[in-house]
A and B are shown apart, each in its own frame.
Chain A
């Protein structure tokens, strides 16, 4: 091997260094996590799609699904995304009171969604669709219930931010990323619901 040619290493090709902020790291982390959550829901939806035909002696999707109820739940969640966004915007402008108001409204809407789901589930169970009655039931309760758990966790997350603000004072620019991270998750749960109400409820009613 011949001697390597001597060359000048570049002096300073890049600007001054700083550590990435918690906001930069956390947001990237949240996006990676949400990407992986997509695969999680995909596996559940694949299960539902391949199982929903096995109704056995239990009621069928067409008999059970109540579109007005689902539409109400959908609008509740949709509205909660809007209030989340308004809350985030208030925080960005440093309007503390408005943030807290929107946070409370968002949490109430989230709980209302979970409540509606509880009502829906109990109705179905009373009408004979238990998780072990048919594989439609099993996969339906698993998929939709899993999404409901996501919403519940989202409410807990928002509540934790609420408590944080109550204890430590208004969200400063240095802590804004906490709310941003939670909001990304909250929107994502709504995105998943769009897929679920289309694939499960609307297509279930159609076919």
Chain B
């Protein structure tokens, strides 16, 4: 995988492709290369998740079909959800955050470069452990939210609630997600510190690009939302491996505890998916409307309010478990209230476009499609927030339509917009706009044809997660339409992949500033050199580069460097060049050791698990105390 990532990255950076190239990817601590690793591996996981969805839609195309077995279908919808949420959309956002945030705030790296590498390798380890379940006895099969008690293998009146959970599938869920979760948590901590501490002079909080604000808020949500989920996983692990009964009602446990702790995490999680999308759209729309973002402060305020509210609404996922009218009403009110700050954002984006000189590049097309689809998803969300109506919608295809309008129509459209906008910065070559248009229209039409009929299916009463349905229910037509949509959507994705491949080889050279950009990253060469900024810039406006173009000479002004520290810590003034950290294999070693622990725990080989854990701690302490002298890079002539 790393070798394949090297191909793209190597092309991007024009480096030699010797045998040591693989080693350089394993040991890199450069936030840009780690960003590329995130983008590449999440793309692979995305294709896996897409394949799972494709198989499910083939199965559901006609009534009473037998394309896949029912047991396999359960594993498919579980792994599809897990893969898309934890291994595709979230790390894809993290990839852009990794690559772009230091550039956008005028920094040379993140606060903890080696921790950053560790975060990536743990995420990858978690994803691989989770997916290895396909080959090692069957994937998890209890849905992405894995409700108790079907996740515990409990037996009620002599009947197993979920015969599949006797296998190890759910153990892969428990262990794999813990691994990936630690990685995500560490990267959340890293970005909170980076954004608070590492900003260039003049980059005040109210001058941060909105994508950086979104990254900060996302990181904070990660930091606060992942722990309850981790505990949930730990409790389930203890239940399954040591015979306790936290979630087993027959033994005095409480199945609802899982639901509570899951959704305390689960609702903020969907905001972790959508917040970076908000940020990306807020960068793309002003650039291609040639106007500053409308209502900047209200956008920041809305982000903060949405993040806060995201912790106040979790029980709307549980309206039908019988918490009573008072609880349901409270959570209905808070859930609907989120529509207010979200509406503020929508109107601000529209107002940004209003009167602007809009250029409909592929990126901008995706940004506009985002607004359309996300509004549809948001509206069905408010419908779901009405408890009496939710009793009808709950666990039906209406919900499937809603979540896909928010996560594909929302998050994925924004990721496509970001890809067309920022990949030229990463690879140095523009993506083809003609192919981009094919890609956009196929994805947009395919997506709507696939998922809009699901609203009807849900209202007609089709429950989600059924492997098939009888012919006489009249569900066949819209299901067939939906599957036809998947073929169109898939064609769109294939065009995108072809565009990526073709542009990486023959694409038009992007140059530093292909879009006439506003923010700091467009002042740098594409691809960006290892040290990012030859001179740390002084930020003099909210749209720093644009302000210099309009009011200055078009180039950023270098910041004044504190003499006392210039030589030692900030070596911009150093005669040998710019100080950058050395690569290290240790983060990879930690991830490998923890992967060993993970498999040992899944197969109950406890001595090996403890050995792996000790090895990991040993490597972590080595990482903490090995002094990294770093090395010096001579900036290129004329690089700014």
Whether A and B touch (Cβ < 8 Å) is answered with yes
Residues of A with Cβ closer than 8 Å to B? Answer: 1, 4, 6-10, 12-21, 24-25, 28-29, 32-33, 35-37, 39-40, 42-44, 46-47, 50-51, 54, 56, 131-132, 134-135, 137-139, 142, 146, 156, 160, 164, 178
Q: How far is the CB of B219 from the nearest CB of chain A, in Å?
A: 9
Taking CB atoms and an 8 Å cut-off, the chain B residues in 499-541 that contact chain A are: 536, 538, 540-541
A145's nearest neighbour on chain B, judged by CB, is: B238
- Knowing A18-B569, A29-B112, A47-B246, the reply to whether A135 touches B252 (Cβ < 8 A) is yes
Complexed CA–CA distance, A18 and B260 (Å): 46
Q: Which residues of B contact A138 (CB under 8 A)?
A: 238, 244-246
- Do A43 and B197 touch (CB < 8 A)? no
- Knowing A17-B570, A132-B242, the reply to whether A43 touches B201 (Cβ < 8 A) is no
Taking CB atoms and an 8 Å cut-off, the chain B residues in 154-206 that contact chain A are: 185, 188-190, 192-193, 196-198, 200-202
- Do A29 and B560 touch (CB < 8 A)? no
- Knowing A28-B193, A32-B223, the reply to whether A164 touches B560 (Cβ < 8 A) is no
- Do B538 and A12 touch (CB < 8 A)? yes
A55's nearest neighbour on chain B, judged by CB, is: B252
- Do B245 and A132 touch (CB < 8 A)? yes
Q: Which residues of B contact A160 (CB under 8 A)?
A: 621, 624-625
Complexed CA–CA distance, A164 and B561 (Å): 33
Complexed CA–CA distance, A72 and B157 (Å): 47
**Interface range for B:** 35 or more
- Do A139 and B111 touch (CB < 8 A)? no
- Do A17 and B559 touch (CB < 8 A)? yes
Q: How far is the CB of B311 from the nearest CB of chain A, in Å?
A: 10
A13's nearest neighbour on chain B, judged by CB, is: B202
Q: How far is the CB of A15 from the nearest CB of chain B, in Å?
A: 8
The residue that B246 contacts in the complex, of A10, A42, A51, with Cβ under 8 A, is: A51
Q: Which residues of A contact B200 (CB under 8 A)?
A: 17
Complexed CA–CA distance, A156 and B624 (Å): 13
Complexed CA–CA distance, A190 and B535 (Å): 45
The reply on B597 being an interface residue by CB < 8 A is no
Q: Identify whether the interface residues of B are mostly helix, strand, loop, or mixed.
A: helix
The reply on B603 being an interface residue by CB < 8 A is no
Q: Which residues of B contact A8 (CB under 8 A)?
A: 551
- Do B189 and A17 touch (CB < 8 A)? no
Residues of B with Cβ closer than 8 Å to A? Answer: 111-112, 185, 188-190, 192-193, 196-198, 200-202, 223-228, 230-232, 234-235, 238, 242-246, 251-254, 257, 260-261, 264, 290-291, 355-357, 536, 538, 540-541, 547-548, 550-552, 559-566, 569-570, 617, 621, 624-625
Q: How far is the CB of B278 from the nearest CB of chain A, in Å?
A: 22
- Knowing A32-B189, A32-B223, the reply to whether A1 touches B570 (Cβ < 8 A) is no
- Do B254 and A50 touch (CB < 8 A)? yes
Beyond A18-B564, A46-B261, A137-B244, 5 extra complex contacts between A and B, CB < 8 Å: A1-B291, A7-B551, A10-B540, A20-B197, A42-B227
The 4 closest A-B CB pairs, nearest first, are A54-B252, A43-B231, A39-B227, A40-B227
- Do A36 and B291 touch (CB < 8 A)? no
- Greatest chain A CB density within 10 A among B189, B253, B290, B559 is at B189
A161's nearest neighbour on chain B, judged by CB, is: B625
Q: Which residues of A contact B551 (CB under 8 A)?
A: 6-9
Complexed CA–CA distance, A32 and B246 (Å): 29
Q: How far is the CB of A192 from the nearest CB of chain B, in Å?
A: 13
Q: How far is the CB of B567 from the nearest CB of chain A, in Å?
A: 11
Q: How far is the CB of B151 from the nearest CB of chain A, in Å?
A: 16
